[in-house]
Amino acid sequence: MTQIRHHIGEDLLIEYAAGTLSEGWSLAVACHLAMCPQCRQQLALAEATAGAMLEELQPADGPSGSWDALKARLDAEPEPKAKPIARPASATLPEPLRSYLGGDVESLKWRNLGNARQILIETDDETTQTRLLCIAAGKPVPEHSHGGRELTLVLTGSFHDELDSFGPGDVEDADGSVTHQPIAGPEADCICLAVTDAPLKFSSRLVRLIQPILGI
């Protein structure tokens, strides 16, 4: 198994452990954790530390009847609808991503973007955009910078850019200071999960013109 060299940032891991991370970033973190034993250990440590801190806090009296009110609210709320989960014998995509997509790679319907294909992933998070990308082997995507933060988690294959090379499980964490042109490795198509909190800034004027149509 290829060693993972690029991990989820500590800030995201701490927010994930605290349950305060928005859905798009949380999906990327969860998928990386499914692939990375090292970060699962870091998460367990963060959760244990937070638990120890909570145990040291002195309890405070809440409003009268607050517990009964909370129980009544929980009883009244319907159970969340589970998204369909595909359970292939040998999965390519990690959970929880398969649940969001309703299946594994062979059942997906991609939208063609030239050298790449994409699937926009529906979430309830209005602060991020989440997509699955498949970059053709040996091919580049257009050069771009970022209006905000972009997390790219490699699921299969690999890519390299001006900064480094990234294989399965690796995360590239880019911001507005980074201008790059990812190129998929020649051995196979590169499938990756990308999460952004602002539109990409493409160097090509043509790509900028059609950017709203492509949804990137």
The CATH number that applies at residue 25 is 2.60.120.10
* The pLDDT of residue 23: 97
The answer as to whether 70 is a domain residue is no
**d(C-alpha 129, C-alpha 118), whole Å:** 12
Tokens 């390299």: give the residue.
Answer: 160
**Token code pair at residue 197:** 């909190």
- Name the residue range of residue 48's domain: 1-55+88-216
* The pLDDT of residue 207: 86
* The pLDDT of residue 56: 60
The answer as to whether 81 is a domain residue is no
* The pLDDT of residue 84: 39
The answer as to whether 71 is a domain residue is no
The answer as to whether 109 is a domain residue is yes
* The pLDDT of residue 61: 61
Give 165-216 pLDDT, tens digit per residue.
Answer: 999 999 999 999 999 999 999 999 999 999 999 999 989 998 888 888 777 7
The answer as to whether 47 is a domain residue is yes
**How many domains, the chain?**
1
* The pLDDT of residue 209: 87
Instruction: Mark the ranges of the chain whose per-residue pLDDT is less than 50.
Output: 77-88
* The pLDDT of residue 76: 60
* The pLDDT of residue 68: 67
The answer as to whether 77 is a domain residue is no
The answer as to whether 166 is a domain residue is yes
The answer as to whether 76 is a domain residue is no
* The pLDDT of residue 178: 94
